[in-house]
Amino acid sequence: MPVFQKTGNIYAAFLFSYLLHIENMESVEDRWIPKTFEDLKQETGLSRHLIKKAVRILQEHDFLETKEAASPCHAHVVTYYRVKWV
């Protein structure tokens, strides 16, 4: 079932598609995609609020896994995203 039909949220569907695209285009370890909120904001044009909401919806519908870690310079938190196939 398409992500939009299951979640009912266009931003969640967009973020899912974007992360899937990144996963397919970049060589990422164990399919974990490291991104800060600022990265996603610049790359997608979505606000921090919309990104958080989309991530929460995707997690609730079992489309996405996340984990957080401090950046190497400890200046900010990096979130790692992994698209889950349902």
For the segment 39-64, the average pLDDT, to the nearest whole number, is 95
Query: Tens digit of pLDDT for each residue in 69-82?
Result: 876 666 777 899 99
The hierarchical CATH code for the domain 3-83 is 1.10.10.10
Q: Considering only CA atoms, which of 37, 39, 18, 19 is closest in space to residue 28?
A: 19
For the segment 42-58, the average pLDDT, to the nearest whole number, is 96
For the segment 29-51, the average pLDDT, to the nearest whole number, is 91
- How many helices (H) and strands (E) the chain has is answered by 4, 3
- Residue 74 pLDDT: 60
Q: What's the gap between Cα 46 and its chain centre? A: 12
What six digits make up the tokens of 63?
């489309």
| For the chain, percent of residues with pLDDT exceeding 90 | 58
Residues in the chain: 86
Extents of the domains making up the chain: 3-83
Output the pTM of the full model: 0.86
